Amino acid sequence: MNKKTLCLYFQVHQPVRLRKYHFFDLGKSHDYYDDFANRTITRKVAKRCYLPANQMMLELIQKYGKNFKVSFSISGLALEQFEKYAPEVIESFKALAKTGCVEFLAETYSHSLASLVDEKEFNLQVKQHADLIKKLFDYTPVTFRNTELVYSDKIGEMVARMGYKTMLTEGAKHVLGWKSPDFVYTNSLNPKLKLLLKNFRLSDDIAFRFSDKSWGEWPLTAEKYAGWLAESVKNEDLINLFMDYETLGEHQDVSTGIFAFMANLPQQVFATSAFEFLTPAEAAAKHQPVAPLNVPFAISWADEERDLTAWLGNELQLEAFEELYKVRDKVKAVNDPALNYDYCCLQASDHFYYMCTKLFSDGAVHKYFTPYDSPYEAFINYMNVLSDFVARVDEKYDNKEKKAVKSSVPVEAPVKKTVVPKASAEKNMKEGKKAVSRTRKK
């Protein structure tokens, strides 16, 4: 029997959070980060999610061997904070890497939206991230997952130019129309890039609805869910379940039964005899694309619209985003380590997400994640930090320009005096006297 594919992927990210930075701090303090909050949150989520979830994944691999596969994309900022505040999380991911049943995906180092505005910065961050994955896990990523599954035809073409053969994105209804997300597609500009699309209904049943007691399908059991999976792919090739790793234990508390559900899911899936677990790279290699996917305008996995409005949907967000990338060339010209680090942290998409002014169900999701009392407070705090950062960049850039101008000004060479030998001087004097005498005789 030709089994269908079940692709299980998790996003892992923690931003470097900003401290309360007031207007009167500008020019006086360049300490932008809330180290206490960053440490506390990283440690808390490690205890609730990363460590127990990684242990569960390791036990599933030990139980089922090569039959169970899982994949992760872990942002560079998250990895930095794990190394700093929770190194045991790094070790637990290393243990998973050694099994050979885990694929680590490439992404932007700072979980940024650089792909929308700056290809150079985008390429730089992707390479920086891939280098860190290689260093930590001895693994070279071959599949790409952009921040929050942001994708368009143009972005896909850029990813293909970087050499990646497979990319993940959202199975957005307004893009697919009547088509199913449960097939492999290709980039419309470069067919060499294969696309795996998230099945958002089945993914969100776990990520968002699992503990919702008002949901008609609550409580969700692994047996019931495995039946849904089997029913969904009678005529399709694969199901891609993409979600935040923090779903396990953080967004869905352990008391909801989420860990027991996930631990029991592979057994129930194998009982249906319909599926095999594969990584994204393996899934793309196994299945032939059915058609190109035309995505002229960027999509994502956020909110009902599945577009960019979670980050760039109002004037506050657009202004902050524009000012941030306006200074990019100067930052790179200065090439100061401290400024480079700050620029990396300030690009995290979370800062713009906190400025979102959406209402209703989407607004509730945004409110859950933000550390600010309002989107306007998030905007003011970010712009205060950004203003100080830009002033530092301008100062360094101007100083560098002045030094460059000064060093390029040619120094006037001293006038050399021609020293005439004494014999030649006497000879010239005699010749001169004879010429004057001849002139007088005439």
Catalytic center residues: 148
C-alpha separations of 335 from 329, 330, 342 in Å: 10, 8, 12
d(CA 1, CA 273): 9
C-alpha separations of 226 from 105, 193, 231, 284 in Å: 26, 30, 9, 22
Q: What is the DSSP string of 196-227?
A: EEE-HHHHHHHHTSTT-TTSTTPSP-HHHHHH
Phi, psi of 259 (to 5 degrees): -70, -40
What are the helix (H) ranges across 219-292? 222-232, 258-272, 280-286
d(CA 146, CA 48): 26
Q: Are the C-beta atoms of 258 and 210 separated by less than 8 Å? A: yes
First to last CA, the chain: 125
Q: Are strands 166-170 and 102-104 parallel, antiparallel or unpaired?
A: unpaired
The residue whose two tokens read 């039959």 is 67
Nearest alpha-carbon partner for 6 in 273, 264, 288: 273
d(CA 21, CA 388): 10
**Is 95 in a helix, a strand, or coil?**
helix
